[in-house]
Amino acid sequence: MQLLKLLPFISQLAALILKATCDPVNLVFLNNGHSLKLNKHQNVRVEEVTAPCNPENKGLLRMANRHLEFCNGKSWVRLSDVTGPVTGKSCLDIKNRGQSRGDGIYRLDPDGGTHSNAFLAYCDMTSYNGGWTMCYTTDEYAKPKTEVKYNSNLSFGTDGYRTDCNNIPFTEIIFIDHQSGNKAYFKRKVNHPITAAGNYGKRASAYGLWTGVGTMNSGYTYQLLICDHSFYTGFFVSGYTNCYKLCNNWCGDTKSPYFRTASTNSGYKGVAFNINGHRSVSTRLVSVGLR
Contacts with Ca ion, residue ranges (CB under 5 A): 109, 111, 113, 117
Residue whose beta carbon is closest to Ca ion: 109
Q: How far is the CB of 134 from Ca ion (least distance, A)?
A: 20
Q: Within the chain, what is the greatest distance between any pair of CA atoms? A: 78
Exposure string for 84-97, b = 16+ CB within 10 A, e = fewer: ebbebbbbbbbbee
What does the H/E/C string look like for 86-102?
CEECCHHHHHHCCCCCC
Q: If DSSP codes are grouped into helix, strand and coil, which group holds residue 10? A: helix
Residue number, 167 or 217, with CB nearest to Ca ion: 167
Distance CA 35, CA 29 (A): 5
Cβ proximity to Ca ion: between 22 and 51 the closer is: 22
Closer of 69 and 109 to Ca ion (Cβ): 109
By C-alpha distance, which of 284, 260, 290, 259 is closest to 164?
290
Which CB, 167 or 182, lies closer to Ca ion?
167
Closest separation in Å from C-beta 199 to Ca ion: 21
Q: Is 7 helix (H, G, I), strand (E, B) or coil?
A: helix
- Number of residues assigned to the chain: 291
Nearer to Ca ion, 43 or 116 (CB): 116
CB of 118 to Ca ion, least distance (A): 6
CB of 223 to Ca ion, least distance (A): 32
Specify the residue, 109 or 253, whose C-beta has the smaller distance to Ca ion: 109
Q: In the bound complex, what is the minimum distance in angstroms from residue 261's beta carbon to Ca ion? A: 29
Q: Do 121 and 150 touch, CB atoms closer than 8 A?
A: yes
Q: Least CB distance from residue 112 to Ca ion, whole Å?
A: 6
Nearest Cα to Cα of residue 92 among 117, 112, 110: 110
Name 291's Cβ contacts closer than 8 Å, sequence gap at least 6.
Answer: 90, 91, 92, 131, 132, 133, 168, 170, 171, 172, 174
Provide, rounded to whole angstroms, the least separation between the CB of residue 256 and Ca ion. Answer: 39
Question: Do residues 19 and 27 touch, judged by C-beta distance below 8 A?
Answer: no
Nearer to Ca ion, 50 or 116 (CB): 116
> What is the C-alpha separation between 118 and 69, in angstroms, rounded?
25
